[in-house]
Amino acid sequence: MINKKRKNQLRSPFNRHLKGNYSHEPCGEELIHSREIFSDIIKHLPDATFVINSDGAVVAWNQAMEELTDVKAEYIMGKDDYEYSIPFYGERRPILIDQVFKLDSQLARTYQKFKSKEEAITAEVFIPKLRGKSTYLWGKAAPLYNRRREIVGAIESIRDISDMKQAEVEINKYQDHLEELVEKRTSELRNSEKKLKDIIYGSPIPTFIIDRNHRVIYWNQALEEFTEIMAEEIIGTKDHYRIFYSNKRPCLADLLVEDGIEDIEYWYSGNYQRSKLIEGAYHVTDFFPLLGKDGKWLTSTTAVIRDAKDDIIGAMTVIEDITQRRLVEEALQKSESKYRTIFENTGTATVLIQEDTTLSLVNSEFVRLTGFSREEAHGKSWLEFVSEDDKDRMIKYHLLRTMDSKIPPQNYEFSFLRKNGTFGDGYMTIETIPGTSQRVASIVDITDRKKSEKELKKLNEKLRKSNVELEQFASIAAHDLHEPLRMVVSFLKLLKQHNQDKLDPKAQKFIEYASEGAVRMQQMINELLTYSRLSTRKKELRDVDCQKILDQVLMNLKLSIKDSKAKITIDPLPILTADYSQLLQLFQNLIGNAIKYCGQDKPEIHISARKMGEEWLFTVEDKGIGIDPKYAQRIFMIFQRLHQAEYPGTGMGLAICKKIVERHGGWMWVDSKLGEGSKFYFTIPVKSVPKTFI
């Protein structure tokens, strides 16, 4: 079908670039004739490309176009009336290629980055749905001419730029992020500068800063107090020399600002040194008679300030008043004879240790204790007289004391070397001499005491073994008593059964008392066996869930809980490394006691646990009859009962509980008052280590 509208649109916007005329007649024949020449070129173009003739009929539709639109060439070839726009918009309408024949400003505004330059039009457009997804496209359309420079059609190449657009979005986000970071960093720098000013001004160390032109720009409060010169009086001037000198002369800061390192020797000969900690900084120590009533000894440290280009833009000086230190040093020198006498007669081995660990002075008691002469000890490192086992610890203490004398302990034990090659045990007390880096250490010989401690340790070990044997004996004895006692109980029952009619009520009562006593004796022996087996039949500790243990305990005590109508509440409980069966017995004994000793009321019991450092604190709380505080220790002893007449029992339950807790490395106690209930507390370490009972 011939598109009549297309004929009227042949006033191309590109005609202004043509020198000849152009044809208003359809030239489809010429396009068909030339198709064989460039069809292969169009077919293999990487961009989706199609061609229409002057009637708007599609005459070329390459493979990339098929892939972009899912429309095959054989379907669309020869079709006109904007058929080529349907894959993009779902309707027939002019698109970018149609702008070649006649510019439509309203249509152009629907595109992004629309440009008409010389013989081509380029633009970007967003297609909401192309092959089922939203897509950004870039297109370029241009007219086609015959030999007579007459427009015979148009060509458009289309490229999917969705990834590029996404990249642009990411780049824009990244750029926005960078701008935010720059703004944030700028703000931080401003804040840092303000903080620096605040730090310098609020620093307790007298400090001032000069700029490249030697003018004071910072003068902190500490320096105001030190010099009695106010900041507003001196900032902006070059009068900072007034701190040190009566006449104007360069200070160390002035020399460093001018990079005049060679002039430092001239102005500060013998009184300066390069800093070992701050690169490019110098220390000056001198006496300044103008300061204070009698003058002051000062150490000033000055360092240059550089900008980002490493150019010097100023210098900062901090000042330390060392007058007191110098006075102490002078006093020490003047009274050396006096101190040496005291040093020699302290009664204990005493040494003077320098900062580098060398011994500068030892007294006669040290010579007697170690066998080394003064000459053999002087100048040697103190560490040469320490055993290898203690050397690393001594080095650590020495380094910590260099940073802060309060960090390492002032008293500790160590092994010292004697000249004969043997080692002795010593107890050292070490102090730093105020105002100096020297330390005074005194050593007490504790060799004999250490030997006594070793002997005591051996005795304790023997006692431990004895206790183990005693426990084993108790276990064996209880076991051996169990069978005869069982026979006594059995024969008493038989005696009662066979002589029921022959015995008077009083005799029957005696047999009943004997049976009850024998049964109670059996219970006590069983409890004693249980108590002894806590140590002799140990199980390997493993991770146990206390919540599951409580579930089992409640199952075991189901009848007692039901009969007493007890109300038991339990907070979340932890998982511990422990002996499962012993923890089960521990909770069962405590909850059973709480049910038993509830008085006239229904038992109310609450179990909770909370972590305290490296251990768990458990609480078993009841509202029962309570315990007199004076019996708080007695109730944990074996066979101790406070209510023998009113309540049955053997007096072993709490003793067993206490031993279980102690075996797990914890401890147990009670908080109670008569009539106000009881709180039983016990601790279990997070990682229990079973104890050996002594």
pLDDT at 173: 86
**Domain holding 130: CATH number?**
3.30.450.20
- pTM score > 0.85 for this model? no
Same domain, 508 and 558: no
Same domain, 416 and 290: no
Distance of CA 512 to the CA centre of its chain: 70
| Distance of alpha carbon 360 from alpha carbon 381, whole angstroms | 9
Q: Look at residues 546, 549, 545, 594 and name the one whose alpha carbon lies nearest to residue 568.
A: 594
pLDDT at 31: 47
Q: Is residue 551 part of a domain?
A: yes
Same domain, 135 and 245: no
Residues with Cβ within 8 Å of 291's Cβ and at least 6 positions away in sequence, in order, are 227, 243, 244, 298
Range of the domain at 498: 451-519
Q: Is residue 466 part of a domain?
A: yes
Same domain, 404 and 258: no
Same domain, 53 and 83: yes
Q: Which run of H or of E encompasses 395?
A: helix 388-403
Same domain, 386 and 249: no
Q: Which of helix, strand or coil describes residue 61? A: strand
Burial of 451 (0-12, 13-18, 19+ CB in 10 A): exposed
Same domain, 149 and 12: yes
- Please count the other Cβ atoms lying within 10 Å of the Cβ belonging to residue 172: 10
| Cα distances (angstroms) measured from residue 212 to each of 190, 215, 242, 255 | 21, 7, 19, 11
pLDDT at 193: 64
Helices 336-344 and 323-334, axial angle in degrees (round to 10): 70
| Four-residue CA torsion sign, 176, 178, 180, 186 | negative
Question: Could you report the average pLDDT of every consecutive run of 10 residues in the chain (694 residues)?
Answer: 44 40 46 61 87 92 92 92 92 91 87 86 91 90 89 92 86 84 74 68 84 90 86 88 84 85 80 81 85 82 87 89 81 67 77 85 87 88 87 83 74 87 87 81 86 83 68 60 65 70 72 64 59 58 90 89 91 90 88 84 91 92 87 75 57 82 89 88 78 40
Q: Look at residues 165, 173, 107, 115 and name the one whose alpha carbon lies nearest to residue 135.
A: 165
Same domain, 436 and 489: no
Same domain, 438 and 492: no
pLDDT at 1: 38
Residue 682, strand partner residues: 618, 668
| Distance of alpha carbon 434 from alpha carbon 570, whole angstroms | 59
Both tokens of residue 261?
Answer: 């390192």
Domain finish residue from 265, 287, 321? 321
DSSP-assigned states of every residue in 181-240: HHHHHHHHHHHHHHHHHHHHHH-SS-EEEEETTS-EEEE-HHHHHHH---HHHHTTSS-G
Same domain, 654 and 608: yes
pLDDT at 201: 67
Are 533 and 582 contacting, i.e. CB atoms less than 8 angstroms apart?
A: no
The count of structural domains within the chain is 5
**Domain holding 550: CATH number?**
3.30.565.10
Same domain, 302 and 351: no
